Amino acid sequence: MAVAPSGLENVVIGPTAISCVDGDAGELYYRGYDVRDLAREASFEEVVWLLWHGDLPTAAELARLRGELARQRVIPHRTAALIDTLARIPAVPMAALALATGMLGVDDPASRSVTPSDELQSALLLVARYPTIIARYERRRRHLEPVEPPSNASTATAFLTMLRGSPPDPVESRALDVLLIVHADHELNASTFTARVIASTLASVYAAVEGALGALSGPLHGGANERVMAMLEQIGTPERAEPFIYGLLAQKKRIMGFGHRVYKTEDPRAAILREVCLEFAQHRQHGRGWCDLAMRVAEAVWQARHLYPNVDFFSAPVQHMLGIPTDLFTPVFAMSRVAGWTAHVMEQHAHNRLIRPRAEYVGPPPRRFVPLAARG
């Protein structure tokens, strides 16, 4: 038996046709399409179809998906009631999303089936309903009435409308649409790997997504974006960026939003979101400050450690400028990544084998039992 390197670094555990990360070249492909092309030309809904079905949708397929997502955005009463309860207690939003996911499964008759058609239906319900759940949670905890899902809006427009109570402008919608595109899938990151391990036991899509949410919530993974925003707010001005970063590094602290297990050059998603940040800031007067600050931090980290920003770094100022509360940044990440997680669950179930690695035992050698009376 071969002993894998710690963290399974560079260990290939099996095939996938869903996405490909070229860490040396700094490239990401969804079903062969470059994420830069998709961010420039496609919508999040086209990417959802691509991840699930293997190719870009025709106009008719896209219209059908958009219509179905819009129809399914209304959440069942029991899930709504659960969200309203959780919003009244200081729950962590990612924990609330995981609990709501379980309740969505209770209300989804297809949730106990692992047939491709039933799983696709459950996947669609999750992508459709996450924006409603996250927006409802936010409005309820601010003692505001929830906003009904708009009847025929994109995921990005529907989410911002339900969050704010009024529709966003096209620039804001497109900024979030691109952010959702670049977060949708990323090969076997920790949360997607978690989803596949759970799916390999033939557990349901909902069980796999609940586990993936737990993995994503950690600060070394999807939880980093919230900590990036807290760091930017703590730094405050571009002039303070360099001393702040050097101070963190002197304490051997990790700089949130930087470094990556796979990318040895710039994360293409960080480059895309940096452009979104700059373009969006020009559109919004007050936004420029956050971009300038983020750019200076990135410069300081590069100077100090030659580390590149990852997807979480520029995601933070973009979400902040969209008016999304910081502790909802990771749920927004999940709102997109649930498309990738469900694609991987369906791929796992299509060619399943239980994922069960071994461990290298380093405990005590076999020894005799010691009765309680003899243990002093």
Is the Cβ–Cβ distance between 224 and 312 less than 8 Å? Answer: yes
| Active-site residue identified among 312, 320, 344, 349 | 312
Judged by CB, which is closer to ligand SDX: 75, or 262? 262
Q: Note whether 230 binds ligand SDX by CB under 6 A.
A: no
| Active-site residue identified among 186, 260, 320, 344 | 260
Catalytic-residue membership of 286:
no
Judged by CB, which is closer to ligand SDX: 200, or 315? 315
Q: Note whether 220 binds ligand SDX by CB under 6 A.
A: yes
Q: Note whether 4 binds ligand SDX by CB under 6 A.
A: no
Binding range to ligand SDX, per CB under 6 A, among 51-59, 133-141, 218-226, 350-358: 218-226
Contact positions with ligand SDX (CB under 6 A) in 293-312 = 305, 307, 310-312
Q: Note whether 157 binds ligand SDX by CB under 6 A.
A: no
Q: Note whether 259 binds ligand SDX by CB under 6 A.
A: yes
Binding range to ligand SDX, per CB under 6 A, among 201-209, 251-259, 282-290, 342-350: 251-259
Catalytic-residue membership of 320:
no
Residue 186 CB, nearest approach to ligand SDX (Å): 3
Q: Note whether 224 binds ligand SDX by CB under 6 A.
A: yes
Binding range to ligand SDX, per CB under 6 A, among 100-108, 118-126, 169-177, 217-225: 217-225
Ranked by CB distance to ligand SDX, the top (closest) residue is 259
Judged by CB, which is closer to ligand SDX: 103, or 224? 224
Q: Which residues bind ligand SDX (CB under 6 A)?
A: 7, 186, 189, 220-222, 224, 254-262, 305, 307, 310-312
Enzyme catalytic residues: 260, 312
